[in-house]
Amino acid sequence: MIGIAAVAAVCTLVAAWLLLVSTPAAVGEGSAFKTAARCASDHDPSGDCLRTVGARVDHTERVNGRKTASYRLYLVEADGTTGRTTLGGSPSEPPVASPGTKIEVTHWRGQIRYVDFDTGRKYTHADPRDDYKIVAAVGLALGLYGTGFLWGWLWLALHSRVTKRARPWQIGLPLMAGICLTPVGAVAPWATDDMGAALRLVGLATAAVAAACAVAAVFLWRRRRGDETIAVTPSVPTEEQHFAGQILGEVPYAERGTHLLAADGYLAATPGHPGTAFRRVVPRTLTPLRVRHPYWADPSPQAYEGRAWVLECEDDGVPVLIVTHRKHMPWVVGALTPRP
């Protein structure tokens, strides 16, 4: 619960800041730039209007360290003022930015926002129109990802004392939904033209995933009613098999290793790979009862990639648990099944 709560809190707080503070600020700046009027004078001190001046290209410089090509444009304005700005692409590509080329640069709030060449306009990296997209993408992705953990924490806080399952579907399903929606949140601002459209896209995706989860929840609820016993067909190993597993309980052969050895009528615990030494053989008095999923009340076995199964056993009245990956459980059951 502590781990889930920590992830949920960090994701929620960061997403709230990005979506409620940073994104509106970026959207506001982009809108202000789009609606800005031309300056009445080249010396307007406000900076909130568009000031366009003539200039010429002095030289260019490639910008290293970026996945996409970009370059710095060094220029000299008509009044002798020097400046620079960064453009995407290469200076040799249209519109060509070769030394001596006559251009016009447009300033807004102290930065060059776009450059007009004879052959067309090119916006600089200071163009604020789409600045909100990266902030909103991170905020939506974190928000959707964290929502799954937030639901998991709330459900555990309400039901952890009454549920048996260590990994109930009521947590796993919402977590999977949040993971599936995370890339939608990351892509939505880039696939749309404004923040409203991005939120509508996320809303539609959320509704679709919620509907799918509702169907899956009904299926899982019906499937996992009862005592949660898992039907496992025993598989008798044709040769000795070595795999990760633990035996837990107050018996001499328990908690002696992290791996199991299974063969026909033979099961043993060993400290590790390759399991040729320090074997603790399971006696024939051990009786398998049923296979189930891990419970909260169980000792702390390994998770086995989140796919662990537990074999409940009894040895002269002493409860014993054998935990291993679900794909290896048929070997365990087969090794303990008495031969006729």
Q: Kindly tell me if the per-residue pLDDT of 107 is higher than 80.
A: yes
Instruction: Please tell me whether residue 191 adopts helix, strand or coil conformation.
Output: helix
Residue type, 323: V
Average pLDDT, the chain: 86
Using 50, 70 and 90 to split pLDDT, how confident is the model at 224? low
Using 50, 70 and 90 to split pLDDT, how confident is the model at 42? low
Using 50, 70 and 90 to split pLDDT, how confident is the model at 196? very high
Whole-angstrom CA distances from 170 to 13, 53, 183, 218, 221 are 24, 62, 22, 11, 9
Residue type, 273: H
Q: What is the pTM of this model?
A: 0.69
* pLDDT given for residue 159 in this prediction: 63
- Alpha-carbon gap, residue 326 to 310, rounded angstroms: 8
Running DSSP on this structure, what letter comes out for residue 18? I
Lowest mean pLDDT among 1-15, 99-113, 224-238: 224-238
Kindly state the percentage of the chain with pLDDT values over 90: 46
Q: Kindly tell me if the per-residue pLDDT of 44 is higher than 80.
A: no
Closest CA to 74 of 115, 110, 128: 115
b/e 7-22 (16+ beta carbons within 10 angstroms → b): bbeebbeebeebbeeb
Q: Helices 195-223 and 131-159: crossing angle, nearest 10°?
A: 30
Q: Mean pLDDT, to the nearest integer, of 236-265?
A: 85
For 265-317, how does the pLDDT look when each residue is reduced to its tens digit (9 = 90+)?
888 888 876 656 678 888 888 989 888 887 766 776 666 767 888 898 999 88
Q: Kindly tell me if the per-residue pLDDT of 320 is higher than 80.
A: yes
Instruction: Please tell me whether residue 57 adopts helix, strand or coil conformation.
Output: strand
Instruction: Please tell me whether residue 27 adopts helix, strand or coil conformation.
Output: helix
Domains of the chain with CATH codes: 2-25+133-223 (no CATH), 39-123 (2.40.50), 241-336 (2.30.29)
* pLDDT given for residue 41 in this prediction: 74
Structure token digits, residue 5: 């709560």
* pLDDT given for residue 229 in this prediction: 79
For 124-157, how does the pLDDT look when each residue is reduced to its tens digit (9 = 90+)?
999 999 999 999 999 999 999 998 888 877 777 7
Per the CB < 8 A criterion, the answer to whether 120 and 104 are in contact is no
The sign of the CA dihedral 273, 277, 282, 284 is positive
Whole-angstrom CA distances from 259 to 97, 236, 243, 248 are 67, 18, 6, 12
Using 50, 70 and 90 to split pLDDT, how confident is the model at 161? low
Strand extents, DSSP E, the chain: 51-62, 70-77, 82-88, 102-108, 111-117, 120-123, 241-249, 259-263, 266-270, 280-281, 286-292, 308-315, 318-325
* pLDDT given for residue 134 in this prediction: 95
* pLDDT given for residue 273 in this prediction: 64
| 238: CB partners within 8 A, 6+ apart | 264
Q: Mean pLDDT, to the nearest integer, of 200-217?
A: 91
Q: How many CB atoms lie within 10 A of CB 329?
A: 23
Using 50, 70 and 90 to split pLDDT, how confident is the model at 45? low
Closest CA to 105 of 90, 89, 88, 126: 126
Q: Mean pLDDT, to the nearest integer, of 195-218?
A: 92
* pLDDT given for residue 301 in this prediction: 60
For 47-102, how does the pLDDT look when each residue is reduced to its tens digit (9 = 90+)?
789 999 999 999 999 998 777 899 999 999 988 999 999 999 999 988 999 999 99
Whole-angstrom CA distances from 5 to 10, 32, 145, 149, 260 are 9, 39, 13, 7, 35
* pLDDT given for residue 126 in this prediction: 93
Structure token digits, residue 175: 């977590």
Residue type, 167: R
Structure token digits, residue 319: 């409860």
